[in-house]
Amino acid sequence: MKFKNSEKLYQQGLEHLVGAVNSPVRAFASVGGNPLFIKKGKGSKIIDVDNNKYIDYVLSYGPMILGHRNKNVEKAIQKALRNGYTFGASTKNEIKLAKIVCAAFPTIDKVRFVNSGTEAVLSALRLARAFTGKDKIIKFSGCYHGHSDALLVAAGSGLATLSLPGSKGVPEGAVKNTLIANYNDLESVKKHFEKHDDIAAVIIEPIAGNMGVVLPQGNFLKELKAYVNSKNALLIVDEVMTGFRSKFGGAQELLGITADITCLGKVIGGGFPVGAYGARNEIMEMVAPLGDMYQAGTLSGNPIAMAAGIATLTALKKQDPYEQFNETANVLERILLAKAKKYNVAIEVNHFGSMINPFFTDKAITNFQEAQQSDTKKFAIFFWEMINNGIFLPPSQFEAWFLSTVLSEKDIDKTEKAIDKAMKAVANM
């Protein structure tokens, strides 16, 4: 493949865009080379500005679960556009989408829509502090919850991709109330509670998707929930990535836990900027205008995003693709393991629902420290070989691959051929 036009746009972008990108992982820092610029997408495919076609396993990092330009979503967007873009006032579709979300999550009575996952999380933290009257938060190393100051420590894929331990510009005071625990390690949580009596909440990704795909082990989540609540603290479950990706609702239900506060995003906006946080009435009624926890946003509940979200969730409810997602993920896992074995390449594959990720290591991955032992040089070779064979993957070892409902058997066959070539290239590095 040739990337002449992407390279040209990259050079142009350097003049007025930071690193020629608007989100760091798009810069391809961990895989080398210049980033690709995408022109359009349809179904399971995207096409770059050099007219190279790819099967898309990035899916805008999750939202495009129905594939690109789904006809029902596009029709809903066009209808909404004819009525206006934004009003700074309430619209009927906000109520309709809220009803769908609340019905899908037994732990949510009321929801507040915002503009991004970052907004959802920072609002949920404020709400937890307001409800408990405490200040400190526990997060897990490698879990990413957006780029708000208080959580931009030990934050997974974006920072790991750039080999940054944290972020400049985050003052010490902003993170003084943030405590770090180890994923799948309840004892690391207990140690914090033993030292501090002012912990408001623990926040966690039920499936950690920003250190690859890392699953909770054994009864970790159930024991975590019970312990946190026994200490009069709240469990915030960040389902920005996992919401509606493993079932119609949240991964928390499949994993047997009940969040006190749930954060959502990505899929619920159907490709448009959106986020949400929700909880039982007792907690949500502390939010303005009902309560004293203030949070606002000019474009929150944007009518175009609401229309896209309603159409996306309606289609998912009708299609119920989750069993097929599991089957497809199992097929991809078998392919990855078989091709790796063929060329004597050590890998581990983790998947959950419609999320999957291979790690270039011979050890099981259950936390961020283990994920960081993966061979990122091998991943970079694998990545570019996949690109050159028409498969678009996240340009980071620490990002999940996502599946869409429009992924076909032909797509899987092409993916298998590409994986074979990519594993061979890794073996010959």
| CA 379 – CA 387 distance, rounded (Å) | 12
Residue type, 349: V
Q: Is 135 a catalytic residue?
A: no
By the 8 A CB rule, do 125 and 263 touch? no
Q: What is the CA radius of gyration of the chain?
A: 21
Catalytic residue among 238, 260, 375, 411: 238
Pick the closest to residue 273 from 22, 92, 21 (CA basis). Answer: 22
Helix (H, G, I), strand (E, B) or coil at 352: strand
Check if 238 is active-site: yes
Catalytic residue (one of 54, 57, 61, 144): 144
Q: How far apart are CA 178 and CA 46, in angstroms?
A: 40
As a whole number of angstroms, the distance between CA 307 and CA 86 comes to 12
Q: Report the alpha-carbon distance of residue 357 to residue 208 in Å, rounded.
A: 11
Give the end-to-end CA distance of the chain in Å, rounded to a whole number. 20
Catalytic residue among 225, 231, 247, 266: 266
Q: Which long-range contacts (CB under 8 A, 24 or more apart) does 279-284 make?
A: 279/107, 279/108, 279/109, 279/110, 279/127, 280/107, 280/108, 280/109, 281/109, 281/110, 283/127, 283/131, 283/234, 284/109, 284/110, 284/111, 284/112, 284/127
**Enzyme catalytic residues:** 144, 238, 266
